[in-house]
Structure 1
Amino acid sequence: MNTTLTTTRGRVSPGSTTDTVSGSTGSTGSARNASARSTSGSPYLEIIGELGERYADILTPAALDFLAELHDRFAGTRHDLLAARLQTGVDAANGRDPHFLGETEHIRSDRAWRVAGAGPGLEDRRVEITGPTDRKMAINALNSGAKVWLADQEDATSPTWANVIEGQITLFDAVRGQLSFDSSDGKSYRVTGGETGVTPTIVMRPRGWHLVEKNIEFVDRAGRRMAASGSLIDFGLYFFHNAQALIDSGTGPYFYLPKLESHREARLWNEIFTFAQERVGIAHGTIRATVLIETIQAAFEMQEILYELREHCAGLNAGRWDYIFSIIKTFRARGRRFVFPDRKQITMAVPFMRDYAELLVATCHQRGAYAIGGMSAFIPNRRDPAVTERALEQVAADKRREAIDGYDGTWVAHPDLIPTAQAEFDRVLGEHPHQLGRTRDWVRVTAAQLLDVASIGGEITEAGVRDNVVIALRYIESWLRGVGAAAIDNLMEDAATAEISRSQIWQWIHDNSVTAEGSRIDTAWVEAVVAEVFAGLPRTPGDRFDDALAVFRTSALEPEFPAFFTVRAYARFL
Structure 2
Amino acid sequence: MSVPVGVELSPPPPGLEEEYQTLFTPDSLRFLHELISKFDEEVDKVLQFRVFRKSKLDLSGELPSFLDRTVHIRTDPSWRVLPVPPRLRRRHVDIGDLAPCDTQRFIRGLLSPAQGIQVDFDDGNCPTYRNQIRGIHNVVKAVHNQFPDVPHISQAPVLMLRPRAWNMVEHNMMVGGKEVPGPLFDFGLLMFHCGKTLFENQSGPFFYLSKVESSMEAKLWNHIFVWTQQKLGLPLACIKATVLIENVLAAFEMEEILYELRDHSAGLNCGIWDYSASFVNKFGHRRAFLLPDRSKYVNMEKRFLRSYMDLLVQTCHRRGALATGGMAALLLPPDPLSDAHREVLATVTRLKLLEIEAGVDGFMVYDLRLIEPMQDLFRLHTRGDNQLNRPSSDVAVTPDDLLSMPSGGVTLYGLKYNIAVGVLFIDAWLSGNGHFFYRGQVEDSATAEISRSQVWQWLRHQTPLEDDSRRVSRRLVGDLIKEVLLELKGGRPSVRATRRLHTAAHLFLEVVLRRDFPEFITTYLHLDHTFLSCHSPGPGEADEHLAKL
Which TM-score applies when normalising by structure 1? 0.87
Q: Work out the CA distance in 2 between the residues paired with 1:372 and 1:328.
A: 24
Shift of 1:383: 5.5
Structure holding more helix per residue: 2
Shift of 1:414: 1.1
Which residue of structure 2 lines up, in the alignment, with residue 413 of structure 1?
366
Q: Work out the CA distance in 1 between the residues paired with 2:423 and 2:197.
A: 41
Amino acid at match of 1:128: D
Q: Work out the CA distance in 1 between the residues paired with 2:116 and 2:506.
A: 37
Q: Work out the CA distance in 2 between the residues paired with 1:266 and 1:169.
A: 27
Any idea what the Cα deviations from partners look like across 1:343-399, whole Å, max 9, x if unmatched?
Answer: 342110011111000000000000000001111222212158333222211110111
Contact 1:117/1:370 (CA < 8 Å) preserved in 2? no
Which residue of structure 2 lines up, in the alignment, with residue 29 of structure 1?
none
Amino acid at match of 1:532: E
1:558 corresponds to which of 514, 518, 536 = 514
Contact 1:366/1:439 (CA < 8 Å) preserved in 2? no
Q: Work out the CA distance in 1 between the residues paired with 2:429 and 2:195.
A: 30
Q: Does 1:105 pair with 2:105?
A: no
Alignment of 1:216-231 (within 5 A): 216-219=173-176, 225-231=177-183
Which residue of structure 2 lines up, in the alignment, with residue 346 of structure 1?
298
- Helix, strand or coil: the match of 1:150? strand
Which residue of structure 2 lines up, in the alignment, with residue 62 of structure 1?
27
- Which aligned segments of 4 or more residues in structure 1 are displaced greater than 6 angstroms? none
Alignment of 1:119-518 (within 5 A): 119-130=85-96, 131-133=98-100, 134-179=102-147, 190-192=149-151, 198-219=155-176, 225-382=177-334, 385-430=338-383, 432-440=384-392, 442-453=394-405, 456-517=406-467, 518=469
Contact 1:294/1:319 (CA < 8 Å) preserved in 2? yes
Q: Work out the CA distance in 2 between the residues paired with 1:174 and 1:103.
A: 44
Which residue of structure 2 lines up, in the alignment, with residue 536 of structure 1?
487
Amino acid at match of 2:305: M
Amino acid at match of 2:509: R
- Helix, strand or coil: the match of 1:203? strand
- Helix, strand or coil: the match of 1:315? strand
Number of aligned residue pairs: give it: 518
Report the CA distance shift for 1:216/1:109 in structure 2 as closer, same or farther (over 3 A).
same
Q: Work out the CA distance in 2 between the residues paired with 1:319 and 1:210.
A: 18
Please say which of residues 253-262 and 528-537 is displaced more in the overlay: 528-537
Report the CA distance shift for 1:554/1:249 in structure 2 as closer, same or farther (over 3 A).
same
Let me know the Cα RMSD of the aligned residues: 1.8
Residue identity over aligned pairs, in percent, reads 36
1:521 corresponds to which of 463, 472, 475 = 472
Q: Work out the CA distance in 2 between the residues paired with 1:126 and 1:511.
A: 41
Q: Work out the CA distance in 2 between the residues paired with 1:567 and 1:395.
A: 31
Amino acid at match of 2:140: F
Report the CA distance shift for 1:387/1:558 in structure 2 as closer, same or farther (over 3 A).
farther
Any idea what the Cα deviations from partners look like across 1:259-307, whole Å, max 9, x if unmatched?
Answer: 0000000000000000000000010000000100110011000000000
Q: Work out the CA distance in 1 between the residues paired with 2:514 and 2:487.
A: 23
Contact 1:132/1:157 (CA < 8 Å) preserved in 2? yes
Contact 2:12/2:20 (CA < 8 Å) preserved in 1? no
Q: Work out the CA distance in 2 between the residues paired with 1:151 and 1:497.
A: 18
Report the CA distance shift for 1:501/1:309 in structure 2 as closer, same or farther (over 3 A).
same
Amino acid at match of 1:289: A
Q: Work out the CA distance in 1 between the residues paired with 2:252 and 2:179.
A: 31
Shift of 1:441: 5.2
Which residue of structure 1 lines up, in the alignment, with residue 539 of structure 2?
none
In structure 1, stretches of 5+ residues that fail to align are: 1-5, 7-13, 15-35, 181-189, 220-224
Please say which of residues 226-235 and 91-100 is displaced more in the overlay: 91-100
Amino acid at match of 2:419: V
Alignment of 1:88-99 (within 5 A): 88-94=53-59, 95-99=61-65
- Helix, strand or coil: the match of 1:359? helix
Which residue of structure 1 lines up, in the alignment, with residue 543 of structure 2?
none
Which TM-score applies when normalising by structure 2? 0.91
